[in-house]
Amino acid sequence: MKHILITGSTDGIGKLTALKLAKDGNTVYIHGRSETKVNNVIKEIKEASKNDNIKGFVADFSDLNAVKQMAAQIKKEVSSLDILINNAGIYKSPSEKTIDGLDIRIAVNYLASYILTETILPVLQKGSATRIINLSSAAQSTVQKGVLTGDAKVNASESYAQSKLALTMWSFYFAKNHSKIVTIAVNPGSLLNTKMAKEAYGQHWSPAEKGVDILYDLAVSERHKNHSGTYFDNDRGSYSNAHPDAYNDNKIKLLLTLTESIISN
């Protein structure tokens, strides 16, 4: 049985994927920003899956210090992880900036996943046939330095697209540097029937299950084990090309240099 952590799993496809993996008897770690909600979801999944190995972590991913604290807690309490699904994401938000003055989508959708993954790397390295699934999007747009650092303002859809490309660029870089871990970026499907899509667009194209099925498949199916460092586009139902910047070593290097300077502040 696998040990699995899914971020942003108190609702949407994160929660449904956690339930599906729990039903297989895996140990599943839930994450959310509200302790009450995390506890309720743990209880709900335990009952629905008849599986008691459901635990949780609480952190507001718009607060990078909270992410660092959660990562430290995981290192202390979890001996190994076989699967990490970086699912936590935000599109619409009442506040555009984090307490650190960063764009909230850049922080939650990219920087939080970066910090968490890089910090708990020793725990992931102890896993068996470890996989990391990073939730990208069909929306990917060239990352601007000012947007990354919080100094330039763009609209929600633009900063969302930049955050998802940043995550994809780092995903490819991580895969190259950690050959024993299978790391895949995925667009789980455009406009799935989730709270995020409803808030952002007021409509959906496909059921949430479409996203759940691909996350589950990427996490456990043997057919994906030789696809590290790639991008799966679930709108097409196949591996596909991400934005050209994701294959540009100079742009990736610049992104990571900036990322390191932002999070070390």
Q: Which among 29, 91, 114, 160 is annotated as catalytic?
A: 160
Contact 12, 208 (CB under 8 A): yes
DSSP state of 79: S
91 backbone dihedrals φ, ψ, rounded to 5°: -120, -70
The residue type of 230 is T
Beta strand spans in 25-142 (E)? 27-32, 54-58, 83-86, 131-135
The residue type of 47 is E
Q: What's the start-to-end Cα distance of the chain, in Å?
A: 39
57 backbone dihedrals φ, ψ, rounded to 5°: -130, 145
Give the gyration radius of the chain's Cα atoms.
Answer: 17
Is 29 labeled as catalytic in the residue annotation? no
| Antiparallel, parallel or unpaired: β 83-86 and 54-58 | unpaired
Known catalytic residues are 160
